Amino acid sequence: MKNKLFIAGALVITALVGCSSVPDRNAPKVVHILGVKVDLKDSALVKENLYAHYSQWKNAKYQIGGLSRNGIDCSGFVYMTFKSRLGMVLPRSTEFQAELGKSIDKDQLRPGDLVFFRTGRTDRHVGVYLENGMFLHASTSQGVIISGLDENYWKSAYWKAKRLDS
């Protein structure tokens, strides 16, 4: 009985933590992978890579701390997207990803920009902007999906956007 209570408690804590993974020990930075980097100013190429990545990851389930198609969290999905499709290694945590780049207004978003949300008192969520108010992310309830910034939940939780141009 005690084991069942412990497991139930652990599941509740995991659900409450949301997408805020454990922060990296290093200062936030972007590392470029030699020979692979996509110019983030090339919106067409960025979109092509993001949609291709989405087709591989669509409906992968959400798992806090996960980094595979068997389960992934939001910051892990952003980390994997930039690493495998855009040639950039970002910090692993939402906290440090939010410190990267330059802040931009919502009406200036372009493909590849990071969009951040406050989903609880201390919880944060991150996704990658696609186009036309849509962003790619790992949702806690639906896994890897494309959502709209104008959907009620995301509209009310919107926090900020960052551009990672080098």
The catalytically annotated residue of 19, 32, 53, 137 is 137
Q: Is 19 a catalytic residue?
A: no
Paired strand residues for 8: none
Residue 131 bridge partners (DSSP)? 134
Q: 97 and 90 in contact (C-beta within 8 Å)?
A: yes
Spatial CA neighbour of 59 closest among 78, 72, 49 = 72
Spot the catalytic one: 19, 32, 53, 125.
125
In the annotation, is 74 catalytic?
A: yes
Using CA atoms, how far residue 145 sits from 1, 51, 60, 74, in Å, is 37, 11, 9, 11
Active site residues: 74, 125, 137
